[in-house]
């Protein structure tokens, strides 16, 4: 599976966030809080949801399942003029990304093993320290083997 290499422009996002770890991965709670409130965001640019992971600089170098990171449930907006109460803003920095079209269960982590253990080490790129994210568009179906999403991994040339 070869990714598309995309140069992403900065995005303005609005949503909710929480600290997680792989050992305590209660992302369902985050989406349960965000889902009913997403219609409060009135200046969204698309209906696609964006799930962001913000990792510490040493997260992957000193990896342990207990390492915490920040997870966001968001939607892209035109500007930050109308942020619903209790929601936060996030400016997703632009840059180079490897974009993987993924079809399957969102609980199957084989795609991430492929990306980090096979594709990335064999490519001309290395991981860049910027947020990782998934675009959950019209073909995304939670916990469905026919679900489709885009996985965006920040990269830079080695």
31-44: pLDDT as tens digits: 999 999 999 999 99
Q: Please give the share of the chain, as a percent, with pLDDT higher than 70.
A: 100
pLDDT of 26 strictly over 90: no
Residue with tokens 């965006």: 152
Question: pLDDT value at position 23?
Answer: 86
User: What's the pLDDT tens digit per position in 44-72?
Assistant: 999 999 999 999 988 888 888 899 999 99
Label residues 82-96 b or e (16+ Cβ within 10 Å = b): ebeeebeebebeebb
With beta carbons less than 8 A apart as the criterion, state whether 116 and 59 touch. Answer: no
How would residue 25 be classed by pLDDT, with cut points 50, 70 and 90?
confident
pLDDT at 49: 97
pLDDT at 114 over 90: yes
The b/e string for 22-53 (b: 16+ C-beta within 10 A; e otherwise) is: eeeeeeeebbeebeeebeebeebeeebbbbbe
Q: What is the pTM of this model?
A: 0.94
Domains of the chain (ranges plus CATH)? 4-157 (3.20.80.10)
């Amino acid at each position: 599976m070869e990714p598309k290499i995309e140069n992403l422009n900065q995005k303005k996002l609005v949503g909710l966030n929480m600290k997680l770890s792989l050992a305590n991965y209660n992302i369902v709670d985050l989406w349960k809080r965000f889902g009913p409130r997403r219609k409060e965001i009135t200046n969204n640019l698309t209906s696609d949801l964006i799930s962001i992971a913000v990792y510490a600089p040493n997260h992957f170098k000193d990896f342990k399942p207990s390492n915490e990171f920040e997870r966001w449930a968001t939607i892209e907006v035109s500007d930050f003029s109308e942020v619903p109460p209790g929601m936060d803003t996030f400016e997703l920095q632009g840059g180079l990304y490897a974009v993987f079209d993924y079809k399957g269960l969102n609980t199957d982590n084989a795609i991430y093993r492929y990306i980090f253990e096979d594709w990335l080490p064999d490519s001309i790129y290395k991981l860049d320290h910027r947020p990782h994210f998934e675009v959950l568009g019209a073909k995304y179906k939670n916990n469905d083997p026919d679900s489709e999403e885009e996985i965006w991994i920040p990269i830079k040339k080695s």
